[in-house]
Amino acid sequence: MTELLPKLLLDLTRPITLREGRETCLEIGFGGGEHLIEAASQAPEIDFIGCEPFVNGVAKLLSKIDARGLTNISLHQGDAVQILDLLPNDSLTCVYLFYPDPWPKRRHRKRRFVSQENLTRLARVMKPNAQLRFASDIDDYAAWTLARIQACAAFRWKATLAEDWRLPWPNWTQTKYESKAIAAGRHPAYLTFIKQAD
């Protein structure tokens, strides 16, 4: 694993260059990597960038990448904002934000990833019609996210029916965290937002 990590880490000393002719997706906070590894396995023609600050999650994903011999995943072990600031304009076709830390205490809510500043960053790097997919089992954070993204002209909420946010996406891989949340009686929300053309 120690040999694999340096090969996959993005170089943050300069703007990030993506492979030409390939779509790129970003997962922010991939946890144990359950979703990211399955998405990359199912779509070898697409490149994936995974951001995760915690060492345990990165180690778990590295083991899975090594076992499957995948070559379409790059990693950043740290804050996703660093990546967003170095990506080219209009470069991502999908961004995944699944079960981010809800920071439930009111005084900590400014730490939530979904903010006007980060939505501006996402809008810059996402292509027109790219999808921002968000999942949370915390009703307050889902409502917080919906309110802030609907106030951002760069994105449009895709839902037209209740099933659009109550049911997961096709080929969804349930994470360990989600399994625990459902077992505890919580009901996840699955929100999809479309990046609008400039």
Q: Which residues are annotated as catalytic?
A: 101
Structural contact between residues 26 and 9, judged by C-beta atoms closer than 8 angstroms: no
Structural contact between residues 91 and 18, judged by C-beta atoms closer than 8 angstroms: yes
Of 99, 97, 128, nearest to 194 by C-alpha is 128
**Residue 155 — φ and ψ, nearest 5°?**
-130, 150
Residues 6+ apart with CB under 8 A from 85: 121
Residues 6+ apart with CB under 8 A from 24: 18, 46, 47, 48, 49, 91, 92, 93
Query: For the chain, what's the residue count?
Result: 198
Distance in angstroms (rounded) separating the CA atoms of residues 192 and 142: 11
Q: What burial class does residue 9 get, using C-beta atoms within 10 Å of its C-beta: 0-12 exposed, 13-18 middle, 19+ buried? A: middle
